[in-house]
Amino acid sequence: MNNIRLVLGNRNYSSWSLRAWLCLRKCDVEFEEILLPLDTAEFKARINEYSPTGRVPVLWHEDRVVWDSLAICEYANDVFADGRLWPRNTASRALGRCMAAEMHSGFLALRNKMPMNCRANARHVPLDEELKADIDRVCFLWGMARSEHSKKGDWLLGEFSIADAMFAPVVQRFKNYGVKLPELCQQYCEQVHADKDMQAWVSQALLESWIVEADEAGSDQPVA
């Protein structure tokens, strides 16, 4: 046992958990998962045992605690992946870090109005100006990253990187809310959906039955 434990929320809704989990999976290390279902009495009762912020994800490794999704991705890169979760090229790494940081601190309309909900099927939310601006910005960033790295592979920066993990829940949202995308972006989404780890996450999410009302956005009927 290598003493790595990831405390995460339920897969259907916990977008921050997905980011950290995906990076750990790409490190090919075994880790224990402790799943605390969001918005439940169990979460409230147990979260303080594990998390200094009361939030997930949290990584425990040996005597270290690493809270916050992006910090976990970076820790995984340093400790378990020998740096390969970022490209070697300095300019590519800088672009990836800007994208990851922007995702981590921004895109509030996308995060609030289109919560990750892997089980949602053809769910419609009104595409207001703020939401459209976030979607356009995501497409701009993906288009820039892909056009600069297309010869190196099918992920944003060629090989899989932390940038892909940070945007994976956005890819999932675009599917669940039926967002129409430019071809290059749609192709990138298909790359993410075809990933075996992403598929493993989603297939387990589909088996969950916890409901977080606040994250059940939109309706089954198209909206104007």
How do beta strands 64-67 and 32-35 pair?
unpaired
Residue 99 contacts ligand GSH per CB under 6 A? no
For 136, left (φ over 0), alpha (ψ -120 to 50), or beta? alpha
Closest separation in Å from C-beta 10 to ligand GSH: 9
Residue 165 contacts ligand GSH per CB under 6 A? no
Q: Near ligand GSH by CB under 6 A, which window of 7-15, 141-149, 171-179, 199-207?
A: 7-15
Please select the residue that binds ligand GSH; options are 10, 12, 14, 191, rule is CB under 6 A. Answer: 14
Please select the residue that binds ligand GSH; options are 38, 85, 163, 165, rule is CB under 6 A. Answer: 38
Sheet holding 4-8, edge to edge: 32-35, 4-8, 58-61, 64-67
Helix and strand numbers, DSSP H then E, in the chain: 9, 4
Residue 160 contacts ligand GSH per CB under 6 A? no
Residue 16 contacts ligand GSH per CB under 6 A? yes
Closest separation in Å from C-beta 13 to ligand GSH: 7
Closest separation in Å from C-beta 182 to ligand GSH: 28
d(Cα 119, Cα 43) in Å, to the nearest integer?
21
Closest separation in Å from C-beta 105 to ligand GSH: 9
Closest separation in Å from C-beta 49 to ligand GSH: 14
Residue 69 contacts ligand GSH per CB under 6 A? yes
Closest separation in Å from C-beta 157 to ligand GSH: 20
d(Cα 7, Cα 2) in Å, to the nearest integer?
15
State which residue has the least CB distance to ligand GSH: 55
Distance (Å) of CA 152 to CA 92, 107, 158: 11, 27, 4
Residue 15 contacts ligand GSH per CB under 6 A? yes
- Select 49 or 220, whichever has its Cβ closest to ligand GSH: 49
**DSSP calls for 176-219:** HTT----HHHHHHHHHHHT-HHHHHHHHHHHH-----GGG--SB
Please select the residue that binds ligand GSH; options are 4, 7, 35, 56, rule is CB under 6 A. Answer: 56
Q: Does residue 170 contact residue 164 with C-beta atoms inside 8 Å?
A: no
Amino acid at 106: G
d(Cα 4, Cα 7) in Å, to the nearest integer?
10
Report the interface residues with ligand GSH, using CB under 6 A. 9, 14-17, 38, 54-57, 68-70
